[in-house]
Amino acid sequence: MRKMILILSIFFLITGCNEEEAKQQGNSIYGKWSLIKYEPGFSPTENFSVNQISWSFEQTNVLKIQVDNTISTPPIKSEGQYDFSLNDNRVTIDNVEYDFSINENTLIISDDPSSDGFKATFLKATE
């Protein structure tokens, strides 16, 4: 009986860790995101199609931004590569700190929108 309890305990421990890891990966900033809405404080909101502006957060702490050639002036950052770091719910991109939150397949990066800062909404890319 003890062996059965030990085996079941180990099984549940391993299964629980895998579910927790999957949940954390699902709520991770790492991966490719498409900017779909940019709300620049008191200015008009800009909406974008999926893949017009893509942000890829790499495990090497490099952010790669790609911008469709139909966009003349992308919001926040231009096309290129930027160093980034994470600290709780803050992301620092090229030495500028922003708030971020993730809810399932939506990422929101903001810079105090209540006082004329911006709010950018991204959709997780399906690869």
Distance between the two ends of the chain, CA-based, in angstroms? Answer: 46
pLDDT at 41: 85
**What is the full per-residue pLDDT of the chain (127 aa) written as tens digits?**
555 444 545 544 444 444 443 334 457 999 999 999 999 988 899 999 999 999 999 999 999 999 999 998 999 999 999 999 999 899 999 999 999 999 989 999 999 866 778 999 999 997 6
CA distances from 106 to 33, 37, 48, 74 (A): 9, 11, 14, 20
Please state whether the predicted TM-score (pTM) of the whole model is above 0.85. Answer: no
Residues 58, 30: contact at Cβ < 8 Å? yes
CA distances from 16 to 4, 10, 81, 104 (A): 18, 10, 37, 20
By DSSP bridging, strand 118-124 and strand 96-103 are unpaired
Partners of 54 in beta bridges: 34, 66
Instruction: Please give the Cα distance from 93 to 90 (Å, whole number).
Output: 10
- In eight-state DSSP terms, residue 45 is P
All structural domains of the chain, each given as residue ranges with its CATH number in brackets, are 30-124 (2.40.128.280)
Which parts of the chain are beta strand (E)? Answer: 31-40, 46-47, 53-57, 62-67, 80-87, 90-93, 96-103, 106-110, 118-124
